[in-house]
A and B are shown apart, each in its own frame.
Chain A
């Protein structure tokens, strides 16, 4: 059996090596596929913070993914048309600059998570699941019925946004950018897990009364984690939108929430690299099974059912033979 730390290094190395090799041999499609993995993994890393560390079963993370996507879509569509978003009372212009778009996505995602979290964290258990799901759906319907940014049809961005010093149109450069962001966020999450806040959040998941007794508010701790979680998933949403140069209400759909959750579960809940390995597996399955049968999601469903019923640590759990959920 492998130590989890070594397995993590291995995953990170492979995730870098495969697309670089593919690029070398001119397999551009593989590079794009790997970028998809990286971006979706990032969305899962965001959810994992709420789900794994905080024990919050959110079925509404598509809301943050979509908010990030639309942050990109709105800024870039105004940017490409040189048409300011707002002229009164002050001027806000669109932009095609990735760092600015990321920042806006992170802030918008965090604020949405603050609003949804403040309402839904008043409850727990099944209520929390249903409420996050419902609020996610609210964003979905709003995106469909608000025609200014494409409504049901979505919104196309013709040229990928720019990053200073890089040619983001080249697939391997955009991959590198996303990969660096993923690794940075993973390092941040590792640090967070080992920090006093990580300790307190972990404690809340296990015993809220104990945490109150040492003078901490479980609600505030959970809300803080939920906001960070939403912000990370929103960043992933912005990257995803830039990858496909298209945003649509589908990003808000509850199937997206379900899929982000599947990444986390396939890899192993509460494990730092769980979402990364889960997203790899999901994309590979989609690719392979999708080639075999049009109805590949049927097999995905069977596989997921098998993992839930019989292999609860996810892939990392199976490879390391360690119980999930601690640490």
Chain B
């Protein structure tokens, strides 16, 4: 079998007495959506921060695209092909949708330090911007400021910016958070085919969406992965039901 695109080995991180990550090992393979679920405070955000590079693990290694990236910062990992979205939308509020996507396209093309050409005259980049906006259903909203679009649209804008990075993996932190049923359905449809472009590590609270999308699920409780397997295995795992799904039976 091929080497996983992203793999964590025994990753640990402690804050004071709190073990936020306790020997986490995790693989993400080509073509799959791997969902990471767990109750609030289980350490999902801490783990995502370590994968994205904004937090350094105390011990353990993180390999990505065949290289050890444990000691690299977030921008270096992004350049190597890690595309992420944030739990709380981190788009540039004062930019239009177009400028937000353009930022990602030009960064990806290595043109972010071009000083004398006009950003808006870069036809090739502009065409890509339109394409990505269309894919996430924001083509009509290109000239609206990001602070003025709806919450669901902002989440999709994040996906568009991740897409524009042409990443080797997607790391998506609760892309459906705060969405209504309709928004969740739209996002589910959007993410479903993405796994063929690059595998997705999906942190999500909405169980319906997770069960609909995931090829594999890992369950994180108190910084440890207590179970990992297919949707059916996780649904029927008695420990998971007890610890996480709150099932008394």
Q: Do A and B contact each other directly (Cβ–Cβ < 8 Å)?
A: yes
Cross-interface CB contact of A207 among B78, B92, B122, cutoff 8 Å = B92
Q: Is the CB of B165 within 8 A of A214?
A: yes
Q: B202-246: contact bitstring with A at CB < 8 Å (1 yes, 0 no)?
A: 000000000000000000000000000000000000000000000
Query: Is A288 an interface position by the 8 A CB rule?
Result: no
Q: Is the CB of A214 within 8 A of B116?
A: no
A191 with B78: in contact, given A210-B91, A213-B90, A326-B94 (CB under 8 Å)? no
Cross-interface CB contact of A217 among B75, B95, B116, cutoff 8 Å = B75
Q: Which residues of A contact B111 (CB under 8 A)?
A: 196
Within 8 A of B (CB), among A173-192: 191-192
Query: Is A38 an interface position by the 8 A CB rule?
Result: no
Q: Which residues of A contact B190 (CB under 8 A)?
A: none
User: Of all chain A residues, which has the CB nearest B53?
Assistant: A212
Q: Which residues of A contact B162 (CB under 8 A)?
A: 213
Least Cβ distance of A210 to chain B in Å? 4
Q: What's the Cα separation between A68 and B89 when bound, in Å?
A: 44
Q: Is the CB of A215 within 8 A of B103?
A: no
Q: What's the Cα separation between A212 and B79 when bound, in Å?
A: 9
Interface residues on A, range: 20 to 34
A212 with B119: in contact, given A197-B113, A203-B92 (CB under 8 Å)? no
Q: Is the CB of A194 within 8 A of B107?
A: no
Q: Which of B86, B102, B103, B122 has the most CB of A within 10 A?
A: B103
Q: A200-232: contact bitstring with B at CB < 8 Å (1 yes, 0 no)?
A: 101100110111111111100100100000000
Q: Which residues of A contact B74 (CB under 8 A)?
A: 209, 212-213
Query: Is A199 an interface position by the 8 A CB rule?
Result: yes
Q: What's the Cα separation between A196 and B120 when bound, in Å?
A: 8
Query: Is A198 an interface position by the 8 A CB rule?
Result: yes
Q: Which residues of B contact A203 (CB under 8 A)?
A: 92, 95, 103
Q: Which of B74, B76, B122 has the most CB of A within 10 A?
A: B74
Q: Is the CB of A216 within 8 A of B94?
A: no
Cross-interface CB contact of A191 among B54, B79, B112, B118, cutoff 8 Å = B118
Q: Is the CB of A199 within 8 A of B99?
A: yes
Q: Which residues of A contact B94 (CB under 8 A)?
A: 202, 206, 325-326
Query: Is A195 an interface position by the 8 A CB rule?
Result: yes
Q: Which residues of B contact A207 (CB under 8 A)?
A: 90-93
How many A-B residue pairs have C-beta atoms within 8 angstroms? Tell me: 103
Q: Is the CB of B122 within 8 A of A196?
A: yes
Least Cβ distance of A144 to chain B in Å? 37
Q: What's the Cα separation between A262 and B76 when bound, in Å?
A: 38
Q: What's the Cα separation between A218 and B75 when bound, in Å?
A: 9
User: Of all chain B residues, which has the CB nearest A197?
Assistant: B115
User: Of all chain B residues, which has the CB nearest A217?
Assistant: B75
Q: What's the Cα separation between A35 and B91 when bound, in Å?
A: 43
Q: Is the CB of B112 within 8 A of A197?
A: yes
Q: Is the CB of B103 within 8 A of A214?
A: yes
Q: Is the CB of A194 within 8 A of B120?
A: yes
Please name 12 further chain A to chain B contacts, defined as beta carbons within 8 Å, in addition to the given A210-B92, A215-B76, sorted by A numbering: A191-B116, A195-B115, A195-B119, A200-B103, A206-B94, A207-B92, A207-B93, A209-B54, A209-B86, A209-B90, A210-B90, A212-B74
Where the two chains meet, the residues of B that have a C-beta atom closer than 8 Å to any C-beta of A are 52, 54, 73-76, 78-79, 83-84, 86, 90-95, 99, 102-104, 106-108, 111-120, 122, 161-162, 164-165
A-B contact pairs, 26 of them (CB 8 A): A195-B115, A195-B119, A196-B106, A196-B114, A198-B119, A199-B103, A200-B103, A200-B106, A200-B107, A202-B92, A203-B103, A207-B91, A209-B54, A210-B90, A211-B75, A212-B73, A212-B74, A212-B75, A213-B75, A213-B78, A215-B75, A215-B79, A215-B108, A216-B112, A224-B113, A326-B94
